[in-house]
Amino acid sequence: MPLDPLPVPREDIEMTDSTATSNHAAVLEAQFGLHGVELRINLGKEELFEEAIANDRGRTREGGPDTDQKAFRTKLGVHGPLVYYTDPTCTGRPVKDTFGVATPELEDKIWWKPDFQKFDPDKFDALFDRVVAHLNENASHLYVKDVYCGSDPSYARPYRLVSEYASHSFFCHNMFNHGIDGVENEDGKRWTMINAPSFHCDPERDGTPSNRIACLDFKNRRVLVAGRADYCGVVKKSMFTVMNYLLPEMGEMSMHCSANVGEQGDGAILFGLSGTGKTTLSADPNRKLIGDDEHAWTRIGVSNLEGGCYAKLINLDKEDEPVIAAAMSMAGTIIENVPPLPGKKMEDLDPQELDLFDNSVTENTRFSYPLAANPNVMPGAKGGHPETIVLLTADAFGVLPPVSILDKKAVMYHFVSGFTAKLAGTEVGITEPKAAFSACFGAPFMAQFPSRYAELLAEKMGQHDTRCILLNTGWGGGPYGIGKRISIKHTRALLDAALNGQLDGVETEMHPVLNLAMPTSCPGVPSEILNPRNTWEDKEAYDAAAEKLRGMFHQNFEDKGFGKLGIEPAM
């Protein structure tokens, strides 16, 4: 449904600092009632670096005050990363506090679910006004950052972040695009986020389950983040959810995936949830990167919704991940929730000295860096139509094959199933791997029903004769706690073989329980690990685990009603 443009003044492209300030102030007052607060507009990253260290204050320790310093420099100063710490209760997405405004005209189009619940429109309006009044009265200054979500003007949306923390403005500058020419009617398409950690919600008064909220208002193109919800990922995932609603409305595909292009122009899409390897596997020195997390597949091909990467740092092997390791010493990057070494101040440490295995703050330590920090990036963060689709999963049960070749029926089944394990730390409350089914490999962010994305994927795969594999980056030889994680070396060899067409027409054997086509050989990979049953000492235990996993797939398919949506069972 087209959204009516809000009546706001048009911004001039070129203006003096004072004109820009008065223009932004007029717009924000007209739209939201924000006034009397100093606006620090579109500061550069060096300025934001210093502002974050000097001004960002909040809680960083359980039971600690709301006056702790949130951002720090390393020994490299402004020439290295900014190190930022979230509230200890928000080291991942605040799933139970994420909502959408249930306006009557959109209510039936949104896929409501436990991690994206309905919020009453009247209560939201009242809460939004209270947050604005709080900022008007208490904020000495706010940071305004103007960027774009999307790298192609045919669908890109202007995005304005108004935040209390300079760290969030810095992150937004990293993670989104700048200067997208040709976007028509920018004022009528712009989304605005008000991000106010200092406002603590009152559940009884505000209708929230806790003292924080992250809520999207699709009708009025606004996002409210308030309270202890200062994980940087909220700034980007909110807009991804927005685009997951808007792109299908245009007849285009939005995707939770990474994407890159080989030397022969052969494009690839890698679907997967956080922690399954999207960022890691897309950072390939032999392929040009389009992006690591959020993309659109439109009539012109694949393009990035973002301008940066947001990688997990926990247990990072620097030899296996040289691109990410090198970026840790670059200016204009943000390290999130990695603690200093014991007895050392962060300002005395080189970023390469940090212990990336230290999970004392969280398992979900993160690193934000510009897309340009990668040595091989596609011009304009765009590519053609993909030749290969990869569905990534991290099987905590050790049952799935390392790689399976999927036909169209199996693609649709496994795409809407979205099986993986929620790896520790990617969401609040998850401390060990837990089996999960997440439709389209990103259910929390999918604003429309899964069948809509499945229809679009099938349509585009058919148009462009795209191959597909299911790639397991999880465990082999037994379940988590007994088996071992499949080595990155073998995973990369399997992926390379698929991308190079070396698995096309290869001999396969069918998994007798899971009905998956398993290659019997692959260059650079021991053939005995390609059938996971071979890696288990106790074959009967494997068979029982496989039966159990198949039952979980069947139950999920039934519970979600995928059959009624036209998806055929493939297992």
Alpha carbons 463 and 460: distance in angstroms, whole number: 5
The active-site residue, picked from 157, 160, 173, 256, is: 256
Active site residue 366: yes
Name the active-site residue from 278, 295, 422, 460: 278
Q: Which of 70, 168, 222, 366 is catalytic?
A: 366
* Angle value at C-alpha 472, between 256 and 95, nearest 5 degrees: 40
Residue 151: active-site member: no
One-character DSSP codes across 204-218: HHH--SSS-EEEEET
Catalytic residue among 293, 298, 422, 473: 293
* Selected catalytic residue, list 74, 98, 192, 274: 274
Decide if 134 is catalytic: no
Could you confirm whether 140 is annotated as catalytic?
A: no
Contact status, residue 76 vs residue 350, Cβ threshold 8 Å: yes
In order, the DSSP letters of 80-97 are S-EEE---TT-SSB-GGG
Let me know if 460 is a catalytic residue.
Answer: no
Q: Is the dihedral of CA 378, 473, 402, 470 positive or negative?
A: negative
**Selected catalytic residue, list 192, 208, 254, 279:** 279
Name the 3-class secondary structure at 152: coil
How does 73-88 read in b/e, with b if 16+ C-beta sit within 10 Å? Answer: bbebeeebbbbbbbbb
User: Which residue among 40, 45, 70, 93 is the active-site one?
Assistant: 93
Q: Is 173 a catalytic residue?
A: no
CB atoms within 10 A of CB 202: 13
Q: Please write down the HEC assignment for all residues of 18-82.
A: HHHHHHHHHHHHHHHCCCCCEEEECCCHHHHHHHHHHHCEECCCCCCCCCEECEEECCCHHHCCE
| Cβ atoms within 10 Å of 6's Cβ, excluding its own | 15
Contact 233, 93 (CB under 8 A): yes
Residue 278 annotated to the active site? yes
Determine which one of 145, 173, 212, 237 is catalytic. 237
Q: Can 293 be counted among the known catalytic residues?
A: yes
- SS3 of residue 350 by DSSP: coil
Active-site positions? 93, 237, 256, 274, 278-279, 293, 366
